[in-house]
Structure formats: C-alpha cells, structure tokens
Structure 1
Amino acid sequence: MSKDTAVTTLTLERGVDATQEAALAALLAELAGASQPLPAPITGKVLLLGDPALCEVKSALRAPTGTYAVQESQSFLGCQTARVEAGHKIVVHQERSEAAASFRFGLNDSGAQMDTRVKFLTAPQIREMRPPSFAERMAPPHAETTSLAPLSPQAVSRYLALAHDENPIHTDDVMAKVAGFDGAIVPGMLFCAMAEALCLRAATGLSASDVRARFLSAARVGASVRCILSPFAGAATQKARVFVVGEADQMHAIIDVFAAKA
C-alpha cells in the first residue's frame, strides 16, 4: 500500500494560549481529585492543534470516506520546556496511507517532539475489535488503584473545547454508533492527560518529562473507569505506568509517564 510523506515547517500564529493551558490543568486537577493545583501538563502541548497554522494538519488527521480515525498512540518526548508560542516554528513530519497516518511535531532543535498515530478503520472493523483484559499480575503489589468518577458529557465537552477536537464520535451517540462504537466515546488524549495528572498528584517533587500512551479500546462517555498506577521507580529518570481499565476489566490504555526531580 502506497504512503505519502511530507515534511513542513510551520510558523505558529498563536501557539498554546496560557489561559487554555491553565484551564486544562484545572480540569485535570478536578477530575483527579487533587487537593492543590497541578502544574501545566506536558500533555497540554496537544492544544497547539488549535493554532490556525495547523489547519491543514488537522484536515490530514481525518479519515478517508467510509472509515473512521481511531487513535493508536500518542507521545510527548522531552517537550516540557518547549516553546509553543506565536511566531515559534515547528517541523511537521507527516506520513499517510489509506489505512493509517502518523504525525511527528518537532518542537525545538533539541529533539522535543509530539507524536500522533491513528488508524483508519471501517465500522465493521471497529465492531470486531476485542480489547485485551487487565490481569492483576500486570501491576506490582503496591500499585495504587483510583476509581474515577464517570467522565460526564459536560467534562468531556470541556476537554474537547480546549483541545479543539470536533470529532462528533465524542459527543453524538448516533454518530458514534454509525462508526461502530456503542455510543459516544471518551477521547484517548483525555485519559493520557489524566494519567499524567494522577502521577503528578501521587509524586510531589517530580517534574514530568515524557508521556507515552498506547490506546487499546474505547470507553463510553459516562462509563466507570479505574486507573491502576504503578508508582514512580528508577534513578535519575523515573517511570510510572498507568493502566486505564473499564468495568469489565477491558484495557482502554497503557500510559507511561517519565519524570525527574524538579
């Protein structure tokens, strides 16, 4: 299957608005039940997709007719201090075929990057997807389980507005069912951001450097979800792993958060 590749340098028109970044941090603190404000998440870099300069990139994320875009993975690498302000240049590496697309956003000359990968699936393919099941042996005995309050349509809508995500499968049950889901689904990126927030809430004195997520299945808006957190461990750079698990033990995502002493 042929692939189209392109490398483009773009100049941001407004970047990530500090007010929106603060609003995202406040939403995540609220959903994570944090007793004090959380720092701006590095997952907030995804808000740059709302910049007008990335309009064509957002269009390229849309699936071909007859298929639907399902996010496969997301990563933020070394971008905690990367500038995403008006006038800043970013380099976008794009690769796309009829079945999938990947986008790597280079945020500075030192290697900071944001990477997004999606698959284009038909409704029958989505209905046939069978997520792996979580088993207790996957997490260490001292793992911490947090049962999240069901993510309401209002909470999801607040995130979508900040992330400039207009995909109707996150808000419209009918459109989501046409696409092969059971109803409107939570954006995988919201789970990614929630995992970072939970890790930072559990580990004071650490600053997140990287977040790497694999998305395994969809979660219905309003469904109960639990996050199983394997605490930070390691030397200079520490790693925590979060399993996002549904009511029937289906795994929605596996998210690794890397951090160092602040």
Structure 2
Amino acid sequence: MPGSAEFIQRAVHALEAGALAVWVRRSLVALAVIALAIYYFYDFRGLATSQAMDQAQIGRAIASGHGWRTNFARPRAIGQLQANGKNAAQKIWSDTYNAPLPPFVDAVALWPVKSHWQMSPSDLVYAGDKAIAAMSIFLFLLSVLVLFFTARRLFDRRLALLACGLVVLCDMLWQYSLSGLPQMLLLLLFNATIYALVRAVEAQYDGRRVDRWLAAVGVGFGLLALSHALTIWIFAAR
C-alpha cells in the first residue's frame, strides 16, 4: 500500500538521519552503561574493607535516628576524651574519626531497605551492602554525566564523549564503586565543583555576574572537606 510504504520510508529516515536517530543512539549508550553496571554488580559479594564497614555502621545509626554514633571504640579517641576532661564512657560512641558526609550518604542508601536490615540465613549478601554499592554506582555515573558537561564546555562534544567513554571503561573506578568507600562521592563533588568553576570563568569573561557560581564552588569545596580530610590540601595550596 502506498501509504504504508511512505510511512515506513519516513520511519527509516527518522531512524537513520532524523531526530529519532539521536534518541536511538542515546538509548543504546544508556543500555550499554546499564548492562556494564549490572555486570559488575552481579559479582558483588559485600563490602570488603574495614573503612567501608565502619562508615556503613555509622550510616545505619544515622538512618535509625541515632546520629553519628559508632560501635567501634578507638583507643586514641579514649585518650583524646580523657585529655580534654570528657566522660569517655559516654562520649566514646560519638564518632569523631570518619568524615561526616560519607556515612550520611550511606544512610540515604540504607533507608529504603530498612525492612531488610535483619539478615536471614538464606541471604548470601547483606541487603545494606547492596544498597550502598548501588548508591556508589549511581554517584559514579552521575559524576560521568557532570564530566561530560564540563568537557563539552572546555572542548567539544566529541572529545567530551571520548573522555566519558574512557572513564566508564576504567575497571579501577568500577571496583571503587563497589568498595563502599567515599571515592565516588569525592569524584562527583570534584567534577561538580570544577563545572561550577568553569561556569564562573565563562561568566567573568562575558561580563556577567559570577556570584552564584563562586558560591557553588565554595559549597563544593566545603562538601569535599566534609567527605575526606585529604581534600583540605586544596585550601593549603598556594
């Protein structure tokens, strides 16, 4: 039928060169990234480092409404409390070792699976560990998206896609995503801060106000400092 042939021809043209082709390519890329995430998540066997477990149990306390409390009593913390005249028996359970933001992010991840906190004999991997790993993967992919927007402003779209593709294919970053450590949170905050800094520089060259972008940069650096103590070196650099 002529009408059907014309419809098929238009549909094929839209898929090959029309506006629909862009969305088809984007969908294929999204499906490839999701498949890669599922591939890594499938072999996840729980948090494997003591630091990740420590932050996770603090995050669980936050999600339970107890604040930044820990079940891990450190001898050094006891000495610090006693040296400052504090009641070590009461204050030792308030965490002062970890940065405050990563456990809070863990709490956000743990809250939706609160009904599964109690592990059953049939569970091979703790549901809370899965939730934290899923949150880290989400932060990683979100950081790649922010990287794309930053690289596109600094260079061009093709180079931005190349950079993001190389980052997504980096096995080490995926391993960090499954570790429960704060690296993916740091990566997202750093990329977002750099994006705000780039926008501030662009606004200055265009003669526009830079207040909001500089404020965003300040917030970003502040959140970085709340995520890991090593980021404070940024403020010490001259």
**TM-score, scaled to structure 2:** 0.24
Higher Cα Rg, which structure: 2
More strand by share: 1
Point out which structure has higher relative CO (alpha carbons under 8 A, 6+ apart): 1
More helix by share: 2
